[in-house]
Amino acid sequence: MPRTLELLCLLLVTAGMAVPSPARAAETAATTSSALVYGDDSRAEARAESDPGLRELARKSTVAIIPREALVVESDAVFYDAPPLAEESALCPGQPFEDQPVLARCTGVLVMDDVVLTAGHCMDDENDCSGSWFVLDYTLDESGEVLIEPGNVFGCERVLARELSSVGEPVVFDHALVKLDRPVLGRGTPVPVRGNAVEPGEALVLIGNGLGLPTKIDAQGRAVLARSTQADYFGAEVDNFHRGSGSPIFDVWGLLVGIAVRGGVDFDGTGTCQFVRSVASGTATMEQASYAGTALIRSGYGDQVVTAPPPRATAAGASAQGCSFAGVHGAPPIGLAASAFALLLLLGARKRSRPPYRRVPSKGVKPCSMNA
């Protein structure tokens, strides 16, 4: 790196500034819909994923939200009683995952040691808090069975923040932050939350419990709509279904970009049974996902939001995108330090056309809202 550029970056890193996070807006009613498959069905079992970073995100950061009555939690074992997918959804024979149990009603993701981000419509009232278990590592083991460890089952202490707008409003928010009954300690890993918007065509990964199934990974997703001006939600082609609301969506750096909240119709049918609906990639249909950075900033946790490198390296002289949520709906503007850090990461990544999936530790990325 030329010496002049080093000095410029150093100056930028020392010039960050911040403003207070906004108060939460009043909530209104919302409508939600389910989702479907784009192109080929690319959902895969969490433990079968070859990328260790994605496996860790699925097992230690993604949280299945399960009704309390569905689990019996004892000190040394967890028991469940759940119908297989084929029975629960009246599937035609031969559908994917037809023999797997349906337990989850929503999904969430760890953003702090004892805080989960999920869809606002998954926490309609306090009963959704008190009546739910929050479960880490809801996956199939090597034998194809679900084995839930008691230590991975958490209760809900309270809902910290929630917004739920009506679909069709100029801006549409759908998110909730839930405080668990205890920290996850060494069992779970909170994820860093990205503060800048997606770019159309950017590669994305969805991890979640669509249809209530054990955690699946769709590593073939892509962004199709940014809505960076509104900073409320983005559009993506990711394979997701009902009961998968709140499923985390990550970028190629392992940063949390958003959570799935709305989508298309799950199934087509013959009149006697149903089969998974599929649409061609590139159609007008898309899943909608609430921006995680906006959710945390509006909920008063802007210090948890970081800036990511741009999703694609561009020609020499291109500038880092920074936090595009700056100034939107009262969000704090990005400090120059975050922009400088993103620039440094960009310069270091230019030799890689597609970075590996990996975590960016929060302490290693400048936050979008910095305390001077």
Give the whole-angstrom CA distance, residue 10 versus residue 340: 8
What residue spans of 97-211 are helical by DSSP H? 126-130
Predicted pLDDT of residue 340: 35
- Give the ranges where the chain is alpha helix by DSSP (H): 3-13, 52-56, 85-88, 126-130, 292-298, 336-349
Residues 6+ apart with CB under 8 A from 132: 65, 66, 67, 68, 105, 156
237 CA to centre of own chain: 14
CA 309 to chain centre: 18
d(CA 105, CA 211) in angstroms, rounded, equals 8
Assign 170 to helix, strand or coil: coil
Pairing of strands 37-38, 71-73: unpaired
Per-residue confidence (pLDDT) for residue 84, from 0 to 100: 85
Q: Helices (H) and strands (E) in the chain — how many of each? A: 6, 22
| CA 58 – CA 71 distance, rounded (Å) | 20
Residue 13 DSSP SS3: helix
Taking CA atoms, 241 is separated from 15, 83, 174, 201, 216, in Å, by: 44, 17, 17, 22, 11
218, 261 contact by CB (below 8 A)? no
Question: 279 with 252: CB under 8 angstroms?
Answer: no
Least confident of 27-31, 191-195, 214-218: 27-31
Report the distance separating Cα 150 and Cα 163, nearest Å: 31
Residues 6+ away with beta carbon under 8 Å from 317: none
Residues facing residue 159 across a β-bridge: 178
* Structure token digits, residue 57: 């995100």
pLDDT of residue 279: 59
Residues 312, 251: contact at Cβ < 8 Å? no
| Helix, strand, or coil (residue 48) | helix
What is the pLDDT averaged over residues 245-252? Answer: 95
- Of the options 2.40.10.120, 3.90.79.10, 2.40.30.260, 3.30.565.60, the CATH number for the domain spanning 28-305: 2.40.10.120
Task: Write down the pTM of the prediction.
Answer: 0.72
d(CA 345, CA 300): 27
Antiparallel, parallel or unpaired: β 287-291 and 305-306: unpaired
Average pLDDT of the chain? 74
More confident residue, 10 or 90: 90
Structure tokens at 244: 């998968």
Distances (CA, A) of 169 to 26, 27, 197, 264, 291: 14, 12, 20, 19, 16
Judged by average pLDDT, the poorest of 27-36, 155-164, 276-285 is 27-36
Q: How confident is the model at residue 286 (pLDDT cuts 50, 70, 90)?
A: confident
Residue pLDDT, tens place only, 57-93? 999 999 999 999 999 999 999 999 888 866 776 778 8
Tokens of 38: 């784009």
Q: What is the mean pLDDT of residues 134-149?
A: 92
Gap between the Cα atoms of 359 and 125, Å rounded: 33
